[in-house]
């Protein structure tokens, strides 16, 4: 059996009296397009932050491509690309400078050929020299995706990448992420939009109040719940 892309075992995270993750177990296979659904506050971002090493769990184990996120952080992080929810950038850098800095963070020098390819695939070549503060929200969102790809990670996690994005850009982003999946990348996507998960994801996990309340193939989940009740569960 091949090693899973992501392994989460008995992960718990409390913020004071608030339990954000309550003993989550999850395995995502290499090459999957996996959806993480749940209402506001369900724990999706906390789980992603824990995978990215930004939040330390109180207990449990997280692994990316077999590397423990706590004890083998560098290797785990090298295997993971994260597209965060927030559009936070240093406004004084150009797009290319930002992507070079991100490459440097992973110890990669002379990454311009790959940066150019990623920018072209995201239809951002014409903005390579532009200052971040001059970009539209949709362009910034695509720069976030480019940033996640500079070190060519096999596993890519996207935290609500289409929140506040218009229909055209949303479809463009999905097409791009689909291509990444076809190229062999494992994709994990958090979303509030059931239609999105339905169209894109082979399996879905549902989090509610920090607990995994459902985990199955998209087809089985849709069969198990009437579409209406599935909607109620995720919204
Ligand atoms: P959304 O869909 O709104 O982004 P989510 O499923 O991503 O929600 P999280 O952001 O993981 O949920 O939050 C889970 C719970 O943990 C929430 O109740 C949130 O208020 C709380 N929480 C998250 N980060 C912190 C923090 N740094 N300090 C205190 N509480 C936090």
Closest CA to ligand 1's atom 24: 46
Tens-place pLDDT, residues 92-146? 899 999 999 999 999 999 999 999 999 999 999 999 999 999 998 889 999 999 9
Q: How far apart are CA 207 and CA 215, in angstroms?
A: 9
Q: How far apart are CA 82 and CA 153, in angstroms?
A: 9
The pLDDT of 171-200, averaged and rounded, is 90
Would you say the CB of residue 162 lies under 6 angstroms from ligand 1? no
Residue 46 Cα to ligand 1 middle (Å): 6
Total Cβ atoms within 10 A of residue 173: 20
Would you say the CB of residue 111 lies under 6 angstroms from ligand 1? no
Closest CA to ligand 1's atom 21: 20
Would you say the CB of residue 42 lies under 6 angstroms from ligand 1? yes
Total Cβ atoms within 10 A of residue 39: 15
Residue 79 makes CB contacts below 8 A (sequence gap 6+) with 64, 65, 67, 153, 154, 155
**Contact (CB, 8 A) for 116 and 125:** yes
49 membership: H or E segment, kind and range: helix 44-51
Residue 52 Cα to ligand 1 middle (Å): 15
- Upper half-sphere CA count for residue 97 (Cβ side, 13 Å): 10
Q: How far apart are CA 94 and CA 194, in angstroms?
A: 35
pLDDT above 90 coverage of the chain, percent: 75
**Contact (CB, 8 A) for 157 and 188:** yes
ipTM value for the complex:
0.96
Question: Which ligand 1 atom minimizes the distance to the CA of 39?
Answer: 2
Shortest CA distance to 199 belongs to which of 33, 32, 82?
Answer: 33
Residue 43 Cα to ligand 1 middle (Å): 6
3 state DSSP class of 151: coil
* Per-residue confidence band for 229, with pLDDT thresholds at 50, 70 and 90: very low
Q: How far apart are CA 210 and CA 66, in angstroms?
A: 24
Q: How far apart are CA 59 and CA 98, in angstroms?
A: 34
Tens-place pLDDT, residues 24-65? 999 999 999 999 999 889 999 999 999 999 999 999 999 999
* Per-residue confidence band for 234, with pLDDT thresholds at 50, 70 and 90: very low
| DSSP character at residue 110 | S
Q: How far apart are CA 81 and CA 145, in angstroms?
A: 9
């Amino acid at each position: 059996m091949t090693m899973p892309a992501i392994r989460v075992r008995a992960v718990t995270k409390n913020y004071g009296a608030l339990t954000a993750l309550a003993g989550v177990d999850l395995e995502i296979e290499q090459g999957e397009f996996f959806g993480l659904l749940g209402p506001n506050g369900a724990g999706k971002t906390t789980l992603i932050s824990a995978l990215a090493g930004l939040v330390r769990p109180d207990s449990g184990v997280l692994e990316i491509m077999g590397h423990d996120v706590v004890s083998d952080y560098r290797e785990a992080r090298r295997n993971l690309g994260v597209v965060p929810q927030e559009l936070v950038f240093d406004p004084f850098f150009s797009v290319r400078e930002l992507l070079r800095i991100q490459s440097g963070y992973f110890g990669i020098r002379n990454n311009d050929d790959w940066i150019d390819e990623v920018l072209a695939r995201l239809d951002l070549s014409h903005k390579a020299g532009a200052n971040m503060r001059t970009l539209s929200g949709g362009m910034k969102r695509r720069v976030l995706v480019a940033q996640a790809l500079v070190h060519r990670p096999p596993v890519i996690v996207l935290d609500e990448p289409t929140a506040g994005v218009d229909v055209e850009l949303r479809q463009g982003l999905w097409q791009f992420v689909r291509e990444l999946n076809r190229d062999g990348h494992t994709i994990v996507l958090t979303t509030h939009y059931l239609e999105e998960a339905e169209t894109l994801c082979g399996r879905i996990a549902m989090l509610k109040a920090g607990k995994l309340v459902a985990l199955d193939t998209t087809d089985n989940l849709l069969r198990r719940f009437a579409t209406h009740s599935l909607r109620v569960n995720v919204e």
